[in-house]
Structure 1
């Protein structure tokens, strides 16, 4: 009985030790991206742009989860908040292209002018893997802002 009890303890500890590695490998889902976008839109409306952009870019745990993070653009293509790369904040990215030559920010701005919410596909560097991967981003327009959270496929 004592040996089997020790085996259970060892198995549990081994499982716990591998849990962070498993969690780190999980990808966010489309439903989680939509939920985080809606939470970000509500936070932006309640707290205002200064507090919201600081929270989104500052990797506030409410707006960052695994490979999910909030990004916000102005209707002119200027990056206002970026949960994965703060160096992009304040830059005009309207001419940015993905590896296939797609002007994804220009397309995002055009979609936001005609739709209150939408999904957009392009390629982007996954902050978890550091590799360029297919990405699908859910966006909602909030006042004159485009608030988005994407998933890596």
Structure 2
């Protein structure tokens, strides 16, 4: 019985530690904006091919905490050019993708990027891999030349 209690206490402590660690790994809105700005600078300096490859690199400079860069062309076709969290989406048309409430989030992201200001925030609900639940997410989008870059944070 003592052994079981010991393992139960150790297990609870491990869960509490991992929950604290994942909360510490949560990116902020300011960090998301800074990452998009950094990605834009990289894109201007190195071109699309090299930039998209780096944005898709799971060990690259554009994946930090739970933040990652994604990219679309500003032509509005909805074909994902880069996605640091899910490279399986690269090359796929995701324009019709909906969030948990049925909102066309990619259409909103593209509209924000091609809009007059070419930048701004898009809110939607998305599965949070850290919690396993559907959470509110806010993504900063900015057009750099003919590319729309984005990075989101869970609220």
Give the TM-score, by structure 1 length. Answer: 0.81
Name stretches of at least 5 consecutive residues in structure 1 with no aligned partner: 1-17
**Residue-by-residue CA offset, 1:26-78 (whole Å, 9 max, x unaligned):** 21111100000100011111111111111111124421111111011123211
The aligned runs of 1:62-141 (5 Å cut-off) are 62-75=61-74, 76-114=77-115, 115-141=117-143
Name stretches of at least 5 consecutive residues in structure 2 with no aligned partner: 1-16
Q: Given the alignment of the two structures, is residue 25 of structure 1 paired with residue 23 of structure 2, yes or no?
A: yes
Q: Higher Cα Rg: structure 1 or 2?
A: 1
Report the number of matched residues.
Answer: 136
- Structure 1, 26-35 or 128-137: larger mean CA deviation: 128-137
Give the RMSD, CA atoms, in angstroms: 1.8
Residue 130 of structure 1, CA deviation: 4.0
Q: Distance in 2 between matches of 1:57 and 1:127?
A: 18
